Structure 1
Amino acid sequence: MEWIQLPLGPLQTNAYIVYNNEGSCLIIDPGEEKNKIIQFVQKKRLQPKAILLTHAHFDHIGAVDPIREEYSIPVYLHQAEKKWLPNPSLNGSAIFEGVQPIIVKHADQLFTKEGELSIEGFQFYLLETPGHSPGSVSFYFEEDGFIIVGDTLFEGGIGRTDLKGGQEQQLLKSIHNKLLTLPNDTYVLPGHDGVTTIGKETDHNPFLHVRK
């Protein structure tokens, strides 16, 4: 299994494309700039199978409909945010100056509980990691040693909790109970900025140490 990080849009939100030896791929958090995603897919001759969303904030969903329509693939989102995609007030696009309202069609499939999942031949664990938003989830690819965490955990930081449904204590609980229990060499693929590891954040992330 391989992955590529594509920073997209003015906020440089990280989309991820996870692909296997057979040429199938999952597209995670296509926030904007659909052409960059399509160009990579074409370059690698991949076949997209689904769009997975770590959560439904506007900077993670802007290219969802164009990519969904381009490849006729389903969109997956946690049920706690099932109303967010078409609602700018919920997805946050209505409250930021200079941001156009983002209206996306509803998800085709809803995550209802955490556990091991198989989607189009991709095996991974869905971990519920709320706090940044009510329906924030992380996708843990155990055999390949990486986890895609959205805006839950960053290198040297944690997700903001001042948007709708955000809760700091819930976020810290998610990080400590769901993420920091993973092997130290697990790569953490965040929604913004660079890749880190569980061990590095356990040892050096000041937000986690101050609030333990």
Structure 2
Amino acid sequence: MTNAAALIRETFPVGPLQCNCTIIGDPVSKKALVIDPGGDHQLILDRLDALGLKVVSIIHTHAHLDHFLASGEMKKATGATLHLHKEDQFLWDNLEMQCKLFGVPYVPVPAPDHWLSDDEELACGCGVALHTPGHTPGSMSFWFPQDKLLIAGDTLFRGGIGRTDLWGGDYRQIEKSIRERLYRLDEEAVVVTGHGADTRLGDEMRSNPFIRA
């Protein structure tokens, strides 16, 4: 970020499983990140146009089908690069199997361009990637400290946590990720979850029925 202006942020549900897709834009450079384009690529493109933003990176909290179904079409339309944690490559590579299992039409998606790493600075210089495994081995959260904004994917929900009974899920890992990474961030932070309503980090720390600080 080149100044202290608040980031542009818009979150809306997309795709067959209504995953929350988030656009994060730098108000100065007009460069943007798209997080978890799980479907409805034209809707996402229309919102970017309406906001006057150019997407430079398409980043993923994890590689369950509902979080990257539109990633290929988004890349084709914008030229933006695809980013994922390496430990979720096996899920990305098995998109067709995931689609069959959930009865969702299969659209091939190209391989990621870049493997995300823990504490990596995101494009636009406005946030950082946190490796928060448990829901999947490569689950990531994205932290924007200036705006006290956390994109938690399917790791933390309002009054819930991500399920750990799917491929590569691990309850002990998700508990550690939430306690040792997410709950150590600013408790005033707004948490954008993978599905459903936003929450506040402090509320989850005190009253989440599954994992409390």
After TM superposition, is the score higher than 0.5?
Answer: yes
Residues 18-167 of structure 1: pairs in structure 2 closer than 5 A: 18-21=24-27, 22-88=29-95, 92-96=98-102, 98-111=103-116, 113-119=117-123, 121-167=124-170
Deviation at 1:12, TM superposition (A): 1.1
- RMSD between aligned residues: 1.5
Deviation at 1:175, TM superposition (A): 0.5
Q: Distance in 2 between matches of 1:89 and 1:10?
A: 15
TM-score, normalization by structure 2: 0.91
Q: Distance in 1 between matches of 2:91 and 2:44?
A: 23
Deviation at 1:82, TM superposition (A): 2.3
Deviation at 1:102, TM superposition (A): 5.0
Kept in 1, the 8 Å contact 2:11–2:22? The answer is: yes
Q: Distance in 2 between matches of 1:200 and 1:102?
A: 38
2:208 to 197, 201, 205: 205
Deviation at 1:72, TM superposition (A): 0.7
Q: Distance in 1 between matches of 2:99 and 2:200?
A: 30
Kept in 1, the 8 Å contact 2:16–2:104? The answer is: no
Percent identity at matched positions? Answer: 36
Deviation at 1:89, TM superposition (A): 6.4
Deviates more, 1:63-72 or 1:37-46: 37-46
Please tell me the residue identity of whatever aligns with 1:73: A
Residue 3 of structure 2: aligned partner? none
Is 1:15 equivalent to 2:18 in the alignment?
no
Q: Provide Cα deviations, 1:3-42, integer angstroms capped at 9, x if missing partner.
A: 1001012321000000011211110000000111011111
Residue 178 of structure 2: aligned partner? 175
1:2 to 2, 8, 14: 8
Deviation at 1:86, TM superposition (A): 3.3
Unpaired runs of at least 5, structure 2: 1-6
Q: Distance in 2 between matches of 1:83 and 1:207?
A: 28
Q: Distance in 1 between matches of 2:141 and 2:82?
A: 15
Q: Provide Cα deviations, 1:76-113, integer angstroms capped at 9, x if missing partner.
A: 100112243232367x32322x22345321100011x3
Q: Provide Cα deviations, 1:148-171, integer angstroms capped at 9, x if missing partner.
A: 111000000000111100011111
Q: Tell me, what secondary structure is at the counterpart of 1:172?
A: helix
Unpaired runs of at least 5, structure 1: none
